Structure 1
Amino acid sequence: MKQRSSKLPPVSASSGVVLGRSAFRQISAVEGIKLSKESETLFSDFDRQGLSAEERRRVLLERHARKA
């Protein structure tokens, strides 16, 4: 049987795919999911401020975590 040749490196089970905001928006649109204008602005602010992933998570948790 002939083996397939691939230009892409093999993908391990633990590796993932990172989607950009545009790709995520298109995939979500298929499901009928759309970010609010407030969320779009918030994520644009994150980009403008150059926040790290950890800093973004912290801000989101502060805004949306339930107050006990």
Structure 2
Amino acid sequence: MPTPKKNLPKEALVKGHTVGRARFTKISEVEGITVSTAMRKRARSSTDQGLSAEEARRLIIRAYRKS
């Protein structure tokens, strides 16, 4: 006998997936992408400073923006 579907509110549905720093590094290695020392330092300092995701993105964009 099939299990009846539960009606979940829209807020309960998750769209997307968050990947942590360690998992991202492992995925990148499989794809042949290496994380540089500067990238690690930037991520560590963002965490230490308690930057939000948006602020951390701005920091990364500023680092790689062409002058």
TM-score interval w.r.t. the shorter chain?
0.7 to 0.9
Residue 11 of structure 1 deviates from its aligned partner by 5.7
Report which of the two has the higher share of helix.
Answer: 2
Contiguous gaps of at least 5 residues in structure 2: 4-11
Tell me which amino acid in the other structure corresponds to 2:43.
F
Percent identity of paired positions between Structure 1 and Structure 2: 36
Aligned residues: 60
Distance in 2, Cα, partners of 1:59 & 1:28? 20
Matches within 5 A, 1:21-40: 21-40=21-40
Contiguous gaps of at least 5 residues in structure 1: 4-9
Normalized against structure 1, the TM-score is what?
A: 0.72
Normalized against structure 2, the TM-score is what?
A: 0.73
Q: What is the Cα-based RMSD across aligned positions, in Å?
A: 2.1
Q: Which has the higher contact order (CA 8 A, sep 6+)?
A: 2
Distance in 2, Cα, partners of 1:11 & 1:35? 32
- Any runs of at least 4 consecutive aligned residues in structure 1 with deviations exceeding 4 A, and if so which? none
Match of 1:51 in 2: 51
Distance in 1, Cα, partners of 2:38 & 2:62? 15
